[in-house]
Amino acid sequence: MAVDKKKKKALDAEITDALLDDFDKFEHFAMNYWKQIAAAAVLIVIGVALWVIISDVRNTSAKRINNAICDAGTEAEIIKVLDEYPGYPATNYARLRLAKIYLAEKKYGKAYEQFERLRSSDIPKEMAWRINLDEAYALELEGKKENAAAKFAALGADPSMPDELCCEANYGAGRLYAEMKQNDKARDCLAKAGRGVPGVQSQILDLWRSQAKFMLIRLEPPAEKAVKKAAAEKVSGEKTPAQK
């Protein structure tokens, strides 16, 4: 009896496969498994809806946080957003603003601490270059001219820096060495700043170069100045054939 039932089921299955086309098979499948299909569809819809909601929330939250970081202007406000959102890239710019505040208040140690923290974080190389130059200027403001000049000179010799920044650094070093009466070092740095860069055209670069050249002329040794002055006077004092 059990064997007959098995045979009957197998025969029914063969007849069903033979008679039903693909559409009928799908309809037959859907009628028998509609609950499972409906449940799966609901899960997919819920999943998509959750993804959209989470994305919107994240975008809104990120925008709100970035606005809070950008709006922070005082020392207390900046420190607060740095503590609350340490992982956001925008905090690097807030930290740089904090360093500027410390410099304006002559809190040089705190400013250097912020510079160092910025250098150790994932910041664009352009920001790192500017930070290094700002630190050299800060050393000068602090009265540490020797250290500032050495830092400027080191930055000016850095081949990875853009030409404009190298020229600015070399001029800064030459200017400080001239103030300290270290004229040989001053002339060396100013000469580097005054050199042209083949194929590079920049108003900023031209500005630093012209400043360096002007200061370099003022630093010429007295003997060279005397020779040039005598040569100029000789040329101006010579009579032309018509005058003779």
CA R_g for the chain: 38
Q: Name the pTM for this structure.
A: 0.64
- Cα separation, 157 vs 167, in Å, equals 10
Question: Tell me, what's the pLDDT at 223?
Answer: 55
Question: Tell me, what's the pLDDT at 16?
Answer: 55
The answer to whether 186 and 174 have CB atoms below 8 angstroms apart is yes
68 exposed, middle or buried (CB, 10 Å; 0-12, 13-18, 19+)?
Answer: middle
List the one residue out of 224, 215, 207, 162 whose CA is nearest residue 189: 215
Tokens 């002329």 map to which residue? Answer: 217
Structure tokens at 175: 């200017």
Structure tokens at 64: 């709100």
Give, for all 244 residues of the chain, the pLDDT tens digit. 444 555 555 555 555 555 445 545 555 554 555 555 455 554 554 444 444 444 444 456 677 777 877 888 788 988 998 888 887 878 888 888 889 899 999 999 999 999 999 888 888 888 889 999 999 999 999 999 999 999 999 999 999 998 889 999 999 999 999 999 999 999 999 999 988 666 667 788 888 888 899 998 888 766 555 555 555 556 555 544 455 4
Which region holds residue 199: left if phi is over 0, alpha if psi is between -120 and 50, else beta?
Answer: left
- Cα separation, 135 vs 239, in Å, equals 56
- Cα separation, 168 vs 151, in Å, equals 12
Number of H helices, E strands in the chain: 11, 0
